[in-house]
């Protein structure tokens, strides 16, 4: 019994890149996604909840001077890889605003870590995927336009940038 507890203590947690490399080595097709997120990674909160999270970022009174606003957007064909990237971005503190778009207001060190990890994952296997990381300013984020049904963003932000259909 003592040997078993020692083995458990010695087992270190894999980094995101190490997990993705292991996933790549095991093959990307045919089997279910490892460690599926409860509720599924493709499920999104309501549009009101997502806009509320974005507004929280936009209207933050005291942003750390070392923070950086950025979008992460992707087209990832493999369900396994996409699921792992979604979980990784959420764990890093990114806010999911669409199925394949995340918004973040994170320290520049975390931004660099995300960028470097995603570069390594992208290079780890043969694919036609694309991942974009787009830095932006608070002013640009405040001037966003949200187009869709039942979105009452201009009432909250006191702007006239929303189109209703």
pLDDT tens for each residue of 68-126 = 999 999 999 999 999 999 999 999 999 999 999 999 999 999 999 999 999 999 988 88
Nearest to 71 by CA among 98, 109, 52, 46: 98
User: Does 145 reside within a domain?
Assistant: yes
Contact of 54 with 97, CB cutoff 8 Å: yes
| Tokens, residue 59 | 């209207």
In a domain, 32, yes or no: no
Residue 138 belongs to domain with CATH number? 3.30.70.240
Q: What is the rounded CA–CA span in Å between residue 84 and residue 162?
A: 33
Residue 2 belongs to a domain: no
The number of distinct structural domains making up the chain is: 1
Query: Is 96 in contact with 102 (CB distance < 8 Å)?
Result: yes
Residue by residue, DSSP assigns 41-72 as TT----HHHHHHHHHHHHT-S---TTEEEEEE
Closest CA to 99 of 81, 119, 72, 123: 72
Residue 90 lies in a domain: yes
Are β-strands 95-98 and 101-107 bridged in parallel, bridged antiparallel, or unpaired? antiparallel
- Within a domain: 10: no
- pLDDT (tens digit per residue) in 45-56: 887 888 888 888
- Structural domain including 129 reads 15-24+44-164
Q: Is the pTM of this model over 0.85?
A: no
């Amino acid at each position: 019994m003592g040997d078993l507890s020692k083995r458990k203590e010695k087992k270190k947690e894999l980094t995101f890149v190490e997990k993705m490399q292991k996933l790549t080595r095991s093959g990307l097709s045919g089997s279910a996604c490892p460690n599926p997120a409860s509720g599924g990674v493709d499920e999104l909160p309501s549009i009101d909840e997502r806009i509320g999270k974005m507004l929280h970022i936009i209207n933050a009174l005291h942003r750390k001077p070392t923070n950086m606003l950025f979008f992460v957007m992707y087209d990832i064909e493999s369900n396994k890889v996409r699921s792992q990237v979604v979980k990784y971005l959420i764990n890093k503190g990114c806010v999911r605003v669409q199925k394949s778009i995340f918004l973040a207001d994170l320290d520049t060190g975390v931004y660099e870590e995300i960028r470097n990890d995603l570069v390594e994952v992208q290079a780890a296997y043969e694919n036609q995927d694309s991942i974009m990381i787009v830095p932006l300013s608070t002013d640009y984020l405040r001037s966003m336009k949200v187009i869709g049904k039942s979105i009452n963003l201009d009432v909250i932000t006191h702007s006239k940038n929303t189109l209703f259909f």
